Chains A and B, each alone.
Chain A
Protein backbone atom coordinates (compact mmCIF):
# COMPACT_ATOMS: atom_id res chain seq x y z
CA UNK A 1 0.00 0.00 0.00
CA UNK A 2 1.27 3.46 -0.88
CA UNK A 3 1.36 5.68 2.21
CA UNK A 4 0.94 9.42 1.67
CA UNK A 5 2.46 11.80 4.23
CA UNK A 6 1.29 15.40 4.16
CA UNK A 7 3.20 18.30 5.67
CA UNK A 8 2.87 20.46 7.56
CA UNK A 9 0.01 19.25 9.71
CA UNK A 10 -1.19 22.81 10.18
CA UNK A 11 -0.32 25.91 8.21
CA UNK A 12 -1.08 29.30 9.81
CA UNK A 13 -1.23 32.07 7.24
CA UNK A 14 -2.97 35.37 6.57
CA UNK A 15 -5.31 36.16 3.66
CA UNK A 16 -3.28 37.17 0.62
CA UNK A 17 -0.32 35.00 1.53
CA UNK A 18 0.96 32.04 -0.48
CA UNK A 19 0.32 28.52 0.81
CA UNK A 20 2.53 25.57 -0.10
CA UNK A 21 1.34 22.10 0.92
CA UNK A 22 3.41 18.96 0.51
CA UNK A 23 2.41 15.35 -0.13
CA UNK A 24 5.10 12.68 -0.11
CA UNK A 25 4.45 9.09 -1.20
CA UNK A 26 6.18 5.99 0.19
CA UNK A 27 6.54 4.69 -3.39
CA UNK A 28 6.40 6.30 -6.78
CA UNK A 29 2.86 7.23 -7.84
CA UNK A 30 2.38 5.88 -11.35
CA UNK A 31 1.41 8.27 -14.13
CA UNK A 32 1.07 11.10 -11.62
CA UNK A 33 -2.24 9.67 -10.44
CA UNK A 34 -2.41 12.20 -7.62
CA UNK A 35 -5.36 14.38 -6.62
CA UNK A 36 -5.98 17.14 -4.10
CA UNK A 37 -9.24 17.81 -2.26
CA UNK A 38 -10.48 20.64 -0.07
CA UNK A 39 -12.82 20.00 2.84
CA UNK A 40 -14.55 22.64 4.94
CA UNK A 41 -16.26 21.87 8.28
CA UNK A 42 -19.55 20.05 7.83
CA UNK A 43 -19.05 19.68 4.09
CA UNK A 44 -18.06 16.90 1.74
CA UNK A 45 -14.62 17.04 0.11
CA UNK A 46 -14.29 18.95 -3.16
CA UNK A 47 -11.92 17.94 -5.95
CA UNK A 48 -9.35 20.64 -6.71
CA UNK A 49 -6.58 18.96 -8.71
CA UNK A 50 -6.26 15.62 -10.54
CA UNK A 51 -3.43 14.09 -12.52
CA UNK A 52 -1.08 16.02 -10.20
CA UNK A 53 -1.56 19.32 -12.03
CA UNK A 54 -4.95 19.55 -13.80
CA UNK A 55 -7.51 21.82 -12.19
CA UNK A 56 -11.00 20.40 -11.78
CA UNK A 57 -13.99 22.19 -13.27
CA UNK A 58 -14.69 25.54 -11.66
CA UNK A 59 -11.53 25.66 -9.56
CA UNK A 60 -9.89 29.11 -9.50
CA UNK A 61 -6.44 29.44 -11.03
CA UNK A 62 -4.90 30.48 -7.71
CA UNK A 63 -4.84 26.71 -7.02
CA UNK A 64 -2.07 24.80 -8.74
CA UNK A 65 -0.57 21.35 -8.40
CA UNK A 66 2.87 20.07 -9.30
CA UNK A 67 5.21 17.18 -8.77
CA UNK A 68 5.82 13.61 -9.88
CA UNK A 69 7.17 10.33 -8.57
CA UNK A 70 7.02 10.61 -4.79
CA UNK A 71 6.85 14.38 -4.18
CA UNK A 72 3.82 16.52 -4.91
CA UNK A 73 2.82 20.07 -4.02
CA UNK A 74 -0.40 22.05 -3.86
CA UNK A 75 0.10 25.80 -4.07
CA UNK A 76 -2.49 28.45 -3.34
CA UNK A 77 -0.99 31.63 -4.76
CA UNK A 78 -2.97 34.16 -2.70
CA UNK A 79 -5.19 32.91 0.09
CA UNK A 80 -8.80 34.05 0.01
CA UNK A 81 -10.96 33.87 3.18
CA UNK A 82 -12.84 30.87 1.74
CA UNK A 83 -9.60 28.89 1.26
CA UNK A 84 -9.09 28.21 4.96
CA UNK A 85 -9.91 24.52 5.19
CA UNK A 86 -8.37 21.05 5.36
CA UNK A 87 -6.62 19.72 2.26
CA UNK A 88 -6.08 16.05 1.42
CA UNK A 89 -3.96 14.42 -1.24
CA UNK A 90 -5.00 11.09 -2.73
CA UNK A 91 -3.20 8.62 -4.97
CA UNK A 92 -5.13 6.36 -7.32
CA UNK A 93 -2.29 4.70 -9.19
CA UNK A 94 -2.05 1.65 -6.93
CA UNK A 95 -5.30 0.96 -5.12
CA UNK A 96 -6.43 4.19 -3.46
CA UNK A 97 -5.09 5.99 -0.41
CA UNK A 98 -5.43 9.43 1.15
CA UNK A 99 -2.95 11.52 3.08
CA UNK A 100 -3.78 12.52 6.64
CA UNK A 101 -4.57 16.12 5.69
CA UNK A 102 -3.13 19.62 6.14
CA UNK A 103 -5.20 22.25 7.90
CA UNK A 104 -4.79 25.78 6.57
CA UNK A 105 -5.86 28.15 9.33
CA UNK A 106 -6.06 31.90 9.67
CA UNK A 107 -3.08 33.40 11.44
Chain B
Protein backbone atom coordinates (compact mmCIF):
# COMPACT_ATOMS: atom_id res chain seq x y z
CA UNK B 1 0.00 0.00 0.00
CA UNK B 2 1.29 3.43 -0.97
CA UNK B 3 1.55 5.47 2.21
CA UNK B 4 2.99 8.65 3.66
CA UNK B 5 3.08 9.05 7.44
CA UNK B 6 4.04 12.37 9.00
CA UNK B 7 5.33 12.82 12.54
CA UNK B 8 7.05 15.39 14.73
CA UNK B 9 4.30 17.94 15.20
CA UNK B 10 3.33 19.42 18.52
CA UNK B 11 3.06 22.56 20.62
CA UNK B 12 6.09 24.85 20.44
CA UNK B 13 6.82 28.38 21.67
CA UNK B 14 7.38 31.23 19.22
CA UNK B 15 10.99 31.47 18.15
CA UNK B 16 11.71 27.80 18.82
CA UNK B 17 12.40 24.99 16.37
CA UNK B 18 10.70 21.77 15.31
CA UNK B 19 11.60 19.00 12.88
CA UNK B 20 8.91 17.17 10.93
CA UNK B 21 9.42 13.76 9.35
CA UNK B 22 7.54 11.87 6.67
CA UNK B 23 7.99 8.13 6.21
CA UNK B 24 7.18 6.78 2.76
CA UNK B 25 6.27 3.22 1.82
CA UNK B 26 4.74 1.31 -1.08
CA UNK B 27 6.57 3.13 -3.88
CA UNK B 28 10.13 3.81 -5.01
CA UNK B 29 10.81 6.90 -2.91
CA UNK B 30 13.92 8.05 -4.75
CA UNK B 31 12.06 8.17 -8.08
CA UNK B 32 9.94 11.15 -7.05
CA UNK B 33 10.09 14.71 -5.84
CA UNK B 34 8.39 15.39 -2.52
CA UNK B 35 6.65 18.38 -0.95
CA UNK B 36 5.34 19.87 2.26
CA UNK B 37 1.95 21.59 2.17
CA UNK B 38 0.25 23.20 5.16
CA UNK B 39 -3.28 24.13 6.10
CA UNK B 40 -4.04 26.56 8.91
CA UNK B 41 -7.17 25.74 10.93
CA UNK B 42 -10.25 26.45 8.81
CA UNK B 43 -8.15 27.81 5.94
CA UNK B 44 -6.96 26.70 2.51
CA UNK B 45 -3.87 24.88 1.31
CA UNK B 46 -0.46 26.54 1.16
CA UNK B 47 2.57 24.98 -0.52
CA UNK B 48 5.55 25.24 1.82
CA UNK B 49 8.51 23.54 0.17
CA UNK B 50 9.53 20.91 -2.35
CA UNK B 51 12.62 18.83 -3.10
CA UNK B 52 13.53 16.89 -6.23
CA UNK B 53 14.38 13.18 -6.25
CA UNK B 54 18.12 13.79 -5.86
CA UNK B 55 17.89 16.93 -3.68
CA UNK B 56 19.32 18.89 -6.60
CA UNK B 57 16.32 21.21 -6.89
CA UNK B 58 14.69 22.76 -3.84
CA UNK B 59 12.01 25.42 -3.52
CA UNK B 60 10.38 27.36 -0.70
CA UNK B 61 7.38 29.60 -0.29
CA UNK B 62 8.38 33.19 0.47
CA UNK B 63 6.62 32.90 3.84
CA UNK B 64 9.15 30.30 5.09
CA UNK B 65 12.28 31.08 3.09
CA UNK B 66 15.30 31.45 5.35
CA UNK B 67 13.54 29.78 8.29
CA UNK B 68 12.59 26.31 7.02
CA UNK B 69 14.86 23.68 5.46
CA UNK B 70 13.64 20.68 3.51
CA UNK B 71 15.73 17.55 3.14
CA UNK B 72 15.40 13.88 2.30
CA UNK B 73 17.18 10.62 3.01
CA UNK B 74 16.51 8.21 0.15
CA UNK B 75 18.17 5.34 1.99
CA UNK B 76 15.59 5.73 4.75
CA UNK B 77 12.63 6.60 2.47
CA UNK B 78 12.14 9.72 4.52
CA UNK B 79 11.41 13.41 4.01
CA UNK B 80 12.12 16.11 6.58
CA UNK B 81 11.25 19.72 7.33
CA UNK B 82 13.41 21.62 9.78
CA UNK B 83 11.43 24.60 11.02
CA UNK B 84 13.31 27.37 12.85
CA UNK B 85 12.22 30.73 14.26
CA UNK B 86 8.62 29.56 14.39
CA UNK B 87 5.83 32.11 14.42
CA UNK B 88 2.18 31.98 15.41
CA UNK B 89 1.25 32.13 11.72
CA UNK B 90 3.08 28.83 11.14
CA UNK B 91 0.35 27.07 13.12
CA UNK B 92 -1.14 24.53 10.73
CA UNK B 93 -1.60 20.92 9.77
CA UNK B 94 1.48 19.97 7.76
CA UNK B 95 1.02 17.45 4.96
CA UNK B 96 3.70 15.49 3.17
CA UNK B 97 2.87 14.94 -0.52
CA UNK B 98 4.40 13.00 -3.40
CA UNK B 99 5.01 14.64 -6.77
CA UNK B 100 4.10 12.71 -9.90
CA UNK B 101 7.60 13.19 -11.34
CA UNK B 102 11.23 13.40 -10.24
CA UNK B 103 11.24 17.18 -10.41
CA UNK B 104 9.10 19.95 -8.92
CA UNK B 105 6.95 20.14 -12.04
CA UNK B 106 3.81 18.10 -11.51
CA UNK B 107 0.75 17.54 -9.35
CA UNK B 108 0.69 15.73 -6.01
CA UNK B 109 -0.87 12.28 -6.28
CA UNK B 110 -0.28 10.90 -2.78
CA UNK B 111 -0.80 12.75 0.51
CA UNK B 112 -0.23 11.83 4.12
CA UNK B 113 -2.76 12.52 6.87
CA UNK B 114 -0.75 15.40 8.28
CA UNK B 115 0.91 16.38 11.54
CA UNK B 116 -0.30 19.38 13.54
CA UNK B 117 2.06 22.17 14.52
CA UNK B 118 0.86 24.73 17.05
CA UNK B 119 3.03 27.75 17.77
CA UNK B 120 1.95 29.44 20.97
CA UNK B 121 3.36 30.68 24.24
Contact B113 A45 (CB under 8 A): no
CB < 8 Å neighbour of B104 from A35, A45, A46, A96: A96
Size class of the B contact interface (CB-based, 8 Å): 20 to 34
Using A45-B95, A92-B104 as known contacts, list a sample of 8 further A-B pairs with CB atoms less than 8 Å apart, ordered by residue number in A: A33-B105, A45-B108, A47-B108, A56-B109, A90-B45, A90-B47, A92-B106, A95-B59
A44, closest chain B residue (CB)? B111
The residues of B with any CB-CB pair to A shorter than 8 Å are 35, 37, 44-47, 50, 59, 61-62, 95, 100, 104-109, 111-114
Report yes or no: B105 in contact with A92, Cβ–Cβ below 8 A: yes
The answer to the question of A100 belonging to the interface, with a C-beta cut-off of 8 Å to chain B, is yes
- A36 — nearest CB in chain B belongs to which residue? B107
Total A-B contacts with CB atoms under 8 angstroms apart? 57
Q: How far, in whole Å, are A88 and B47 apart by their CA atoms in the complex?
A: 12
Residues of B within 8 A of A88 (CB): 44-45
Partner of B112, one of A1, A44, A50, A95: A44
Q: Give Cα A97–Cα B48 distance, bound, in whole angstroms.
A: 10
Cβ contact within 8 Å between A90 and B44: no
Give the residues in chain B near A95, CB-CB below 8 Å. Answer: 47, 59, 61
CA of A50 to CA of B106, assembled, Å? 8
Cα separation A96 to B104 with both chains bound (whole Å): 9
Find out whether the CB atom of B47 lies under 8 angstroms from the CB atom of A98: yes
Which residues of the partner chain A approach B50 to less than 8 Å between Cβ atoms?
96
